[in-house]
A = this chain, B = another copy of it.
Amino acid sequence: MISGTLFMLVLLCGVEAGHAGKVLVLPGEYSHWHNMRAIIDALVDRNHSVTVLVSSSSPTVQHTRKERFDFNVFKVNTKKEEANAVWSDFIHLWMNDTATKYETVLNIWRVMSNFMLLFTDICKGMFHNEDLLHTLRESHYDVLFSDPMMPCTDLMVQKLNIPHVLSLRATFAYTFERLCGQMPAPPSYVPAVALQDHLTDHMSFTERVENMLLYIMHMTIFRLNMKFTFDPLYTEIWGKPTTMCETMGKADIWLIRTYWDFEYPRPLLPNFKFVGGLHCKPAKPLSKDLEEFVQSSGDHGIVVFSLGSMIGNLTLERANTIASALGQIPQKVVWRYNGKTPETLAPNTKLYDWIPQNDLLGHPKTKAFITHGGTNGLYEAIYHGVPMVGLPLFADQPDNLMHMKTKGAAVFLDVNSMQSKDLVDALKTVINNPSYKESIMRLSRIHHDQPMKPLDRAVYWIEFVMRHKGAKHLRVQAHDLSWYQYHCLDVVAFLLSIIALITFLFIKTCCCLFRKCFRNTRPDDKAQKSKKE
Contacts and interface: CB of A to CB of B under 8 A. Distances in A.
A5 B495 contact: no
Given A268-B269, A451-B457, A4 B362 contact: yes
Contact of A490 (B12, B183, B205): B205
A478 B4 contact: no
Interface string A198-215: 000110010011001100
A204 B283 CA distance: 56
B362 A7 contact: yes
A33 interface: no
A264 B8 contact: no
Interface stretch (A121-129, A243-251, A460-468): A460-468
Contacts of A486: 186, 188-189
Contacts of A478: 186, 188-189
Contacts of A444: 11
A481 B452 CA distance: 33
B15 A448 contact: yes
Contacts of A487: 186, 188
B468 A446 contact: yes
Contact of A4 (B186, B271, B282, B490): B282
Nearest to A9: B282
A207 to B, nearest CB: 10
Interface string A434-450: 00000001001110110
A14 interface: yes
Nearest to A187: B488
B265 A473 contact: yes
Contact of A265 (B184, B364, B477, B494): B477
Contacts of A446: 468, 473
Interface residues of A, number: 77
One complex includes copies of this chain to the number of 2
Contacts of A517: none
A437 to B, nearest CB: 13
B362 A485 contact: no
Interface string A112-145: 0000000000000000000000000000000000
A194 to B, nearest CB: 14
A1 B268 contact: no
B209 A495 contact: yes
B212 A488 contact: yes
A474 interface: yes
A260 interface: yes
B476 A189 contact: yes
A198 to B, nearest CB: 14
Nearest to A383: B8
Interface in A3-27: 3-5, 7-8, 11-12, 14-15
Of the candidates A261, A284, A449, A486, the one having the most CB atoms from chain B within 10 angstroms of its own CB is A449
B451 A468 contact: no
A2 interface: yes
A480 B282 contact: no
Contacts of A481: 188-189
Contacts of A363: 1, 4
A396 to B, nearest CB: 20
Contacts of A92: none
A368 to B, nearest CB: 16
A332 interface: no
A516 interface: no
A187 B488 CA distance: 7
A52 to B, nearest CB: 26
Given A477-B201, A478-B188, A495-B212, A15 B282 contact: no
A474 B259 CA distance: 10
A492 B201 CA distance: 19
B451 A3 contact: no
A488 B184 contact: no
Nearest to A482: B188
A110 interface: no
Contact of A451 (B186, B460, B477): B460
A285 interface: yes
A4 B359 contact: yes
10 contacts: A4-B284, A8-B282, A8-B448, A11-B441, A205-B491, A205-B494, A208-B490, A212-B491, A260-B270, A265-B473
Given A15-B449, A451-B451, 9 more contacts: A4-B282, A187-B491, A188-B487, A205-B490, A208-B490, A209-B491, A266-B270, A449-B468, A452-B452
